[in-house]
Amino acid sequence: MSVPAPSPISRRALLWGAGGCAAVGGVAVLAHQSRPRAPRRQPDGVYRKLKIAWPEAAMSPVLTAALEKSFFAQYNLDVDPLPDIHNGQDALDALARQKTAYALAPALTWLQRLHAGLPARLVMGVQSGSRRLLVRRSSGVTRLDQLMGRNVAVPDLNAADKLFFCIMMRRKGMDALNHINWIDLPIQQIEQALHDQKIDAVVTHDPDAWTLLQNNPDLLYELVGSDTGHYAARTSLILGVADTAQESDPTAATALVLALRDAALWVNTHRDDAATLIADNAADLPVASARNMLRNEPTIRPLMGHGLREQIAQYCDELQLVGMLADGEDSAALARRYTLNVLHE
């Protein structure tokens, strides 16, 4: 007798609780990634020169390690990050305009573009996003619900930070999208706006969030973030490949994923060395601060295959919660359509 498939409604219903679904998913990720195994598909050793769209590439410990520690070279890859890619939308714009066949962006950004018809597939969850909601100490805000009607700054509206926290709050019954005054404010103006009490909080990601917090401990504190609890086990920054590239040279994505996986695992065991690499690229991030930042970020868990597909389905559920995907969409089916297991694990 066949066993009926689980209803997608049951998974979505869990999202309204205290994160039970995400916690279960996080445990699954830990088990799935605890011992990387050799992929069934191996790269062919052919030399390839690839361009990649990666937001703020110089500040990524995984990409910088792959470049500087020869992980790309081990797979005969010569990888060139595109300039002027500041966020996930920039990266996916470059892919859409065929400036590159490979791009990194937050899952929440990817899914909206894929649903709109962007011809690409998701092949690897690289790491979490280290997002932080920082609150002005003198605002009196100590709970998420107290942010309703308040002014919250977003340094980059094209980043996924705002949407991430709107989903977090929606799961607790709050409509943050429509009941918080979201203010587009460049990162350089945030501190002054806080001192002038023009804003009550800011949502952004590391290294900007970390720098703000460390430079202003008497002004700001972190109310919530993505680096603790079940969120720490969630992948966020996702590598995708254009359909045309995957059709013409499928082994290129295999080599790219393996190189990035090796680099990510190296970063986990060499946090201080990785911090030195990115600090060398940043005028306003001292080595000591970079080291503390990476030590306080969650373990990097590269995610492919079934584990990636499960988390993409969960992100689809969450986009439905905030009305950015229709309620009738089958999240599991969307995840199967949007992901590709290039390692055949």
Read out DSSP for 153-175?
A: EES-TTSSHHHHHHHHHHTTT--
Residue 39: pLDDT over 70: no
The pLDDT of 94-106, averaged and rounded, is 98
Tens-digit pLDDT profile for residues 262-293: 999 999 999 999 999 999 988 789 999 999 99
Q: What is the pLDDT of residue 33?
A: 42
Q: What b-and-e string marks burial along 100-127, b requiring 16 or more CB atoms within 10 Å of the CB?
A: bbbbbbbbbbbbbbbbeebebbbbbbbb
Sheet holding 120-127, edge to edge: 77-81, 48-53, 102-106, 237-242, 120-127
Look at the domain 8-129+233-338 and name its fold.
D-Maltodextrin-Binding Protein; domain 2 (3.40.190)
Q: What percent of the chain has pLDDT over 70?
A: 88
Element (H, E) at 223: strand 220-225
pLDDT band at 344 (very low <50, low <70, confident <90, very high): confident
pLDDT band at 127 (very low <50, low <70, confident <90, very high): very high
Both tokens of 284, joined, read 């306003």
Q: What is the pLDDT of residue 314?
A: 97
The pLDDT of 133-162, averaged and rounded, is 95
Q: Give 49's strand partners.
A: 78
Domain parsing of the chain, residue ranges? 8-129+233-338, 131-225
Distances (CA, A) of 77 to 39, 61, 102, 262, 342: 18, 18, 13, 14, 16
Look at residues 20, 28, 3 and name the one whose alpha carbon lies nearest to residue 307: 28
Q: How far apart are CA 86 and CA 238, in angstroms?
A: 15
CATH architecture for segment(s) 131-225: 3-Layer(aba) Sandwich (3.40)
Q: What is the pLDDT of residue 38?
A: 55
pTM strictly above 0.75: yes
Q: What is the pLDDT of residue 282?
A: 83
pLDDT band at 44 (very low <50, low <70, confident <90, very high): confident
Residue 41: pLDDT over 90: no
Asked if the domains at 8-129+233-338 and 131-225 fall in one CATH topology, the answer is: yes
Contact 180, 148 (CB under 8 A): yes
The pLDDT of 136-148, averaged and rounded, is 97
Q: How far apart are CA 101 and CA 262, in angstroms?
A: 21
The pLDDT of 20-36, averaged and rounded, is 39
Sheet holding 181-184, edge to edge: 181-184, 151-154, 201-205, 131-136, 220-225
The pLDDT of 154-170, averaged and rounded, is 92
Residue 10: pLDDT over 70: no
Higher pLDDT, 2 or 102: 102
Residue 109: pLDDT over 50: yes
Residue 324: pLDDT over 80: yes
Q: What percent of the chain has pLDDT over 90?
A: 81
Angle, vertex CA 211, rays to CA 206 and CA 214, nearest 5:
125
Residue 82: pLDDT over 90: yes
Residue 307: pLDDT over 70: yes
* pLDDT mean across residues, the chain: 89
Contact 294, 271 (CB under 8 A): yes
